[in-house]
Amino acid sequence: MDRLLTRRAWKDEFWQNPWDQGGLAVICLFITTVLFLTLFAILFGLLPPLDRVNPCEES
């Protein structure tokens, strides 16, 4: 029982430390950025390129 209370106290102590919270936020932002860039690359890699028409060659 004592071990359970010390484990809970350690978890409570973790959330009180702003450096731990900041580190967790940076890790989450990094993972989110990597996932967003991967999704961006997949999305625009699958779309076909647009056909561009040069107005000078259209006569």
What pLDDT score does 4 carry?
59
Which residue reads 């690359």 in tokens?
41
Q: Based on C-alpha coordinates, what's the Rg of the chain?
A: 25
Element (H, E) at 8: helix 2-16
Share of the chain above pLDDT 90, in %: 31
Q: Distance between CA 6 and CA 13 in Å, rounded?
A: 10
Q: Give the domain ranges of the chain.
A: 1-40
CA distances from 11 to 19, 25, 29 (A): 14, 17, 22
Q: For residue 56, report the phi and psi dihedrals to the nearest 5 degrees.
A: -75, -25
Q: In which band, very low, low, confident or very high, does the pLDDT at 9 lie, cut at 50, 70 and 90? A: low
Task: Please write the tens of the pLDDT for every residue from 15-41.
Answer: 777 887 888 999 999 999 999 999 999
Q: What is the rounded average pLDDT for all residues in the chain?
A: 80
